[in-house]
Amino acid sequence: MLPSLPGTVRLAGAAALLLLAGCAKEAAAPSAGPLLPRTATAPASALNGVMMQGFYWDVPGSTAAGSWWQNLASKAPELSAAGITAMWLPPAYKGSAGGYDVGYGVYDRYDLGEFNQKGTVATHYGTLSQLQSCIAALHGQGIQVYEDVVMNHLMGADYQESFTYNGQNYNVYTGFSYPGRGTTYSNYQWHYYNFNGAQQGANNSWLQWNPWDFQPYANGDAYDNLMGCEVRYADVNQANETIKWGNWLTTKLGLDGYRIDAAKHIQTGFFNNWLDNVKGSRFAVSEVWFNSVSQLNDYASATGGRTSLFDVPLHYTFKAMSDGNGAWDMRGLQFAGFTEANGPLSVSFVDNHDTDTPGGLHSPVVNLKMLAYAYILTREKGYPCVYYKDYYEYGLGAQIKTLSLIRKANAYGAAYEYTSVNDADYYAYSRAGDSTHKGLMLILNDGSSARTKGITSPFKNATLTDKTGNYAGTITTDANGYGNFPVNGRSWSVWVPN
């Protein structure tokens, strides 16, 4: 915990893991101005699409393919063949720690690896030209691109400013002049009056000179002053500049959508304006780390459905299943999470760069992880997000690919929860299919022994095969769709009509 003015601030969200350095941002003198016009729009997410988070917290600075951008570009064909339809890229701009910064300690939002700043031209992920080539490779394989947008704070100011506010003298790193970039793309500089406060000094304590944009809400889980130099979005100048930057970024990279970092720490009225003036009909998903379906629904209401939200409660449901490691009651998966409550606005995930990082949230799903992936990739509701580290570093890629292709081919039609069949170990869920897709029956088992249960399925007089390959042979159903559906111990099966 870190002291804040007022109250106490807890680090959370994607930025939580950063080493908090002094920040300073420069901005033009206060003046009024209209919001920028709405831009042209691009298609939203694909039917039965699968998003991939294309990074993890400590990705290497170099790979066999070159930079991280070159690594992702090299994987575009295989990911497209695996049913991945969108890629969430890490923050692409220069961070306060230069080439070591993973982007959440954002210094210059207009430097995408193009200018010699903070000791490097390239960002942690590569140069601008490599980034543009990566996006071209992804687009060439039919994969949409979502950029990680960090607009709550700035870090790593160029110089210290001295000023007096309410009779108190301040000496704070809040001046951003971007000497390596100059006025290329933007002449906007940041000063103390463009912020509400900043973390400074060896203990990163908060100094505050403007009111926070909003009071804490959701029992204190959402608060304005998260980290670094806290941007003052109550002032129209910062609002307009950030909208202008969002449109520039969208055009510069040809983006199809956005992942918004630390959204619950940003003034909601400004955020709605940003979405209205930048997003259009593109896709957006926001990190709003509430382990509460009702709080996520409240936020969805406050943002008017403009943005999807990550299903944090579902992640913690999977975490409970993992921690139980066979002792958890699988009926907890029935109608679970924000995905069930608000499917059109839900992005389901198993783990991400925050949950699977020591020193961060660190709530990884370690045991029975593929059961969680089978759940999100066959579900009627929600837009599933696959984690790069699970796919490549943890060796789950082949199994995730199989499920992703099952989703593409079979996950259609009405869904059904078998509440009268499910028990502490056995969980069943079906998709009935439609006129051109055969549907599926998902069976999960966290117990140590194989299980079989009789179920009246949507598939009448059918012969079915486990398309995952986990259970050999076939099963048949009668004229009512009744059949015995087996699954191995600590395993998953997806039975599909032949």
Q: How many domains does the chain have?
A: 2
Domain final residue, candidates 411, 438, 460? 411
172 and 276 together in one domain? yes
pLDDT of residue 6: 29
pLDDT band at 18 (very low <50, low <70, confident <90, very high): very low
Q: Supply the pLDDT for residue 278.
A: 98
Which of 411, 432, 466 terminates a domain? The answer is 411
Residue 14: pLDDT over 80: no
Residues 237 and 184 in one domain: yes
* Amino acid identity, position 157: A
Query: Active-site residue among 230, 261, 311, 390?
Result: 261
Percent of all residues in the chain with a pLDDT value above 70, rounded to a whole number: 91
Whether residues 347 and 321 fall in one domain = yes
Identify the domain boundary among 411, 430, 449: 411
Same domain? 392 vs 407? yes
The answer to whether residues 254 and 336 belong to one domain is yes
Regarding whether 440 and 386 lie in a shared domain, the answer is no
pLDDT digits (tens, 9 = 90+) for 116-170: 999 999 999 999 999 999 999 999 999 999 999 999 999 999 999 999 999 999 9
What pLDDT, in 10s, does the model give residues 399-441? 999 999 999 999 999 999 999 999 999 999 999 999 999 999 9
Q: Are 161 and 262 within one domain?
A: yes
Of 365, 368, 324, 397, residue with least CA distance to 488: 368
CATH of the domain at 422: 2.60.40.1180
Please state, for a pLDDT cut of 90, what percent of the chain lies above it: 88
Indicate if 137 and 286 belong to the same structural domain: yes
Higher-pLDDT residue of 230 and 32 is: 230
| pLDDT at residue 27, rounded to an integer | 33
261 noted as active-site residue: yes
Answer whether residue 70 shows pLDDT above 80. Answer: yes
* Residue 20 pLDDT grade (very low, low, confident, very high; cuts 50, 70, 90): very low
pTM of the model: 0.91
Mean pLDDT of the chain: 91
The answer on 459 and 338 residing in a single domain is: no
Residue 290 has pLDDT above 60, yes or no: yes
Do 422 and 392 share a structural domain? no
Among the listed residues 111, 158, 287, 354, the single catalytic one is: 287
Band of residue 468 on the pLDDT scale cut at 50, 70, 90: very high
Mean pLDDT for 235-261 is 98
Residue range(s) defining the domain that contains residue 437: 415-497
The CATH number assigned to the domain holding 87 equals: 3.20.20.80
307-354 pLDDT per residue, tens: 999 999 999 999 999 999 999 999 999 999 999 999 999 999 999 999
482-493 pLDDT, tens per residue? 999 999 999 999
Do 490 and 387 share a structural domain? no
pLDDT greater than 50 at residue 22: no
